[in-house]
Structure 1
Amino acid sequence: MDGSHHLVVGAGLAGAATAWHLAERGHEVTLVERTEPAARDGSSHGSARIFRYAYAEREYVEMVARAAEGFRELERLHGAALLTPTPAVDHGPGRDPRALARVLQDVGVEHELLSAGEARARWPQLAVDGEVLHQPGGAVVDAESTVRAMVALARSNGARVLTGWPLVGLERTTTGFTARSTRGRSIDAGHVVVCAGGWLPDLLGGLPLPNGFLEAFPALEVREENAFHFPYRDEHPHGTWPTLIHELPEILVYALPGGRDADFRGQKVAEYKGGRSVGSASRRSGTVDAANRARVTEHVRRHLPGLVPEPYAETTCLFTSTPTEDFVVDGTDGITVVSPCSGHGAKFAPLVGQIAADVATGTAAPPERFRVGAARTP
């Protein structure tokens, strides 16, 4: 096998983006997926993720701007929209809207600070009690469609895509690597990029990586989160709602239009990191936490009067996080490990694929904060 052949493991947002960028650059690429792209038991399924600019750190805001350019290029090549323009709102004492606005101002991102009264007049479906940061350039990401678009582009550039192909072993050879799956199947490759999401904790220790790299790798926490869909009241239908992040001392809640995941009937609402820690995606139960349902429902009752505080649909999903909530895109000796995680990675998908392709090919180093040792402690 030619040493330029790249094997990409995992066809979620990160893996699909990496395969697309590698294939587009002319590399031989094989993308393997444990089940199928954007699998429902992974982290990249469904039609509703928040695209927002507000971060406390300039570097992330700048990366969002670059990711927006990537989405525009992806939509152009795909021939259909993957982002639905939707205002983004941040409020609550834990968010510090004024501080976030200063960072957006420094980067040149359009925004406005609204008083509580101004925000309530614009969005009466929200019970706002302080300043609100509004980002007109926000959107909702269709995660599943984005994955499928990137997989299709990878294929059109010559990539091979294999589904039903779980990685069970990776061995170093004289020419590169041999990846093994079930039923005796194997693939030889010169380079390997592992984008395994919540399955990474199960795989990481078995990869032929130097001990120093593994020891520096940040601890990964995999949570089984809960998401609930609450119906719109008639006077506040679909299309009139922003996405929002509301941070109080006792809870951080995010919400966004549920899209086709909820038949366009309601808002998807969840508590950030409110679910159970399960260690790995392989130990996900699929059972919604009743206590979490009660907390989120009470938050809706108190702070989202435009919703009926009775969920009509619910699900669990996976969040894989590092201690600092930074991503990991780093590698050594022919293996690149990619974990754009911590519950905020979807918006960066096209950019993460570009960074991962750079690292895998040696074209450029990753951002320093994405190196394995950088995300060990907050």
Structure 2
Amino acid sequence: MDDTESFDYAVVGAGLAGAATAWRLAQRGHSVVILERAEPANDAGSSHGSARIFRYVYADPFYTRLVQDSVAGWKELESVHGGSLITPTGCVDHGEVRGPRQLASVLEEAGLSHELLSPREAAERWPQFSFDTEVLWHSAAGVIDAQSAVHAMVAAAVAQSATLLSGWPVASVAKSGAGYTLADPEGRTVTARQVVIAAGGWLPGLLAGLELPAGFLRSLPRFEIRQETAFHFPYREQPAPDTGWPTFIHKADWIQVYGLPGGRDAGHRGQKIAEFNGGKVLADASAQDGKIDPDHRRRMVEYVKRHLPGLVPEPYAETTCLFTNTPNEDFVIDRAEGITILSPCSGHGAKFAPLLGEMAANLAGGMGRVPQRFRTSLMEARP
């Protein structure tokens, strides 16, 4: 590619958020370059693998409505992709901290089908679990194939004439005429009129080099990067296709755990189990080492012994993943001058990907339509 070639938009990062934004921008006829430090949906980011939870249940009705709004985008993407990207499984929510009854009221208000079951009723239906509180069931939940979704959106963007540059880590973004020049550590450059930063765990390290207004930078939340760990535990009995394991979220006073069918990540042999925000805090994404904490493994084995009798409490596979958290777990979609910051993070952004890409594309194009709570610069600047 000619180093002097210029684009309407440069999208930094080809995870779920960046791929979705590039797809939406390319759909609108813009020239787009996607700059990815490795490969789309690579293992060092937050969008790899075949298993992410798709659910409607949130304590905050705002996010439940946002999930409902995301469905059309997923159907559109599946149509473009030519296959399913979300496998229906249903979801169970339980635990005294999770509050199933209050969550049921949110689904009721949203008009979403659900059941609230006693511990005994739930155990009769799902003997592979051990329940000690009421259980909320909603059948519309499922599992997102994150890696395939990223590849589908990148392919759709490229089909609309976007350019993908893999192995292209962004080192700096500098104002240049009416746009920006983006450079990598080797001195390669591209120019673009507008820039979208969707760099996941690498975002904090990029902020200082973006030439953004000081007030805008102060308005951004503190981003916390965690190296999370997921463990795959084998089924005691392989479930039948029509009576498989649901996804689940369990919040007790001593632990917060989620689980889902592990998909092809671990040979469809078991359930992927992880502790929400149970991993170590990193200075930045480059500090991840992929190592498993033995104490964390023991804690998860103990959890499986106590709460998941349908699994063998011996993990047969394990992996790490990055979470990029904000203090209140809200997303950030905000813009200053010609740079849009996109951080759909805190471990729950995957289910919104096509919709968030549309929001980011709208904002980058000056069309607005982003929830105000995602635009931190519109709030009072932080000291």
TM-score in same-fold range (> 0.5): yes
The answer to whether residue 123 in structure 2 is matched with residue 126 in structure 1 is no
Gap regions ≥5 residues in structure 1: none
Alpha carbons of structure 1 residues 16 and 27: separation in structure 2 relative to 1, 3 Å: same
The answer to whether residue 328 in structure 2 is matched with residue 324 in structure 1 is yes
Question: What are the equivalent positions in structure 2 for 1:1-378 lying under 5 Å apart?
Answer: 5-234=8-237, 236=239, 240-373=244-377
1:264 and 1:375 map into 2 onto residues whose CA distance is 48
Instruction: Provide the secondary structure at the position in 1 that maps to 2:201.
Output: helix
Instruction: Provide the secondary structure at the position in 1 that maps to 2:156.
Output: helix
Query: Partner amino acid for 2:140?
Result: G
Verify the 8 A CA contact 1:245 1:254 in the aligned structure 2: yes
Moved more, 260-269 or 1-10: 1-10
What RMSD, in angstroms, separates the aligned Cα atoms of the two structures?
A: 1.6
1:279 Cα shift? Answer: 2.2
Deviations 1:14-72 (A, max 9, x none): 00000000000111111110011001110000000000000111110010011122111
Query: Partner amino acid for 2:267?
Result: D
Instruction: Provide the secondary structure at the position in 1 that maps to 2:46.
Output: coil
Deviations 1:315-344 (A, max 9, x none): 111111000000000011000000000000
1:177 and 1:365 map into 2 onto residues whose CA distance is 24
Verify the 8 A CA contact 1:219 1:376 in the aligned structure 2: no
1:159 and 1:42 map into 2 onto residues whose CA distance is 22
2:99 and 2:183 map into 1 onto residues whose CA distance is 49
1:370 and 1:173 map into 2 onto residues whose CA distance is 28
Verify the 8 A CA contact 1:33 1:163 in the aligned structure 2: yes
1:109 Cα shift? Answer: 1.5
1:235 Cα shift? Answer: 5.9
1:27 and 1:123 map into 2 onto residues whose CA distance is 50
Deviations 1:321-375 (A, max 9, x none): 0000000000110000000000001111111101100110011242111112569
Instruction: Provide the secondary structure at the position in 2 that maps to 1:190.
Output: strand
1:267 Cα shift? Answer: 0.3
Alpha carbons of structure 1 residues 312 and 376: separation in structure 2 relative to 1, 3 Å: farther
2:381 and 2:358 map into 1 onto residues whose CA distance is 24
Moved more, 294-303 or 367-376: 367-376
1:265 Cα shift? Answer: 0.4
1:133 and 1:150 map into 2 onto residues whose CA distance is 33
Identity of aligned residues (%): 55
Verify the 8 A CA contact 1:256 1:267 in the aligned structure 2: yes
TM-score by length of 1: 0.97
Instruction: Provide the secondary structure at the position in 1 that maps to 2:130.
Output: coil
Verify the 8 A CA contact 2:6 2:191 in the aligned structure 1: no
Query: Partner amino acid for 1:67?
Result: S
Alpha carbons of structure 1 residues 50 and 284: separation in structure 2 relative to 1, 3 Å: same
Query: Partner amino acid for 1:129?
Result: D
1:32 and 1:110 map into 2 onto residues whose CA distance is 41
1:212 and 1:272 map into 2 onto residues whose CA distance is 32
2:71 and 2:144 map into 1 onto residues whose CA distance is 11
Query: Partner amino acid for 1:337?
Result: I
Verify the 8 A CA contact 1:323 1:376 in the aligned structure 2: no
1:94 Cα shift? Answer: 0.7
Query: Partner amino acid for 1:65?
Result: Q
Verify the 8 A CA contact 2:6 2:190 in the aligned structure 1: no
Verify the 8 A CA contact 1:323 1:375 in the aligned structure 2: no
Instruction: Provide the secondary structure at the position in 2 that maps to 1:164.
Output: coil
Verify the 8 A CA contact 1:229 1:311 in the aligned structure 2: yes
Query: Partner amino acid for 2:293?
Result: D
Instruction: Provide the secondary structure at the position in 1 that maps to 2:101.
Output: helix
Instruction: Provide the secondary structure at the position in 1 that maps to 2:290.
Output: coil
1:201 Cα shift? Answer: 1.1
1:236 Cα shift? Answer: 4.2
1:40 and 1:46 map into 2 onto residues whose CA distance is 8
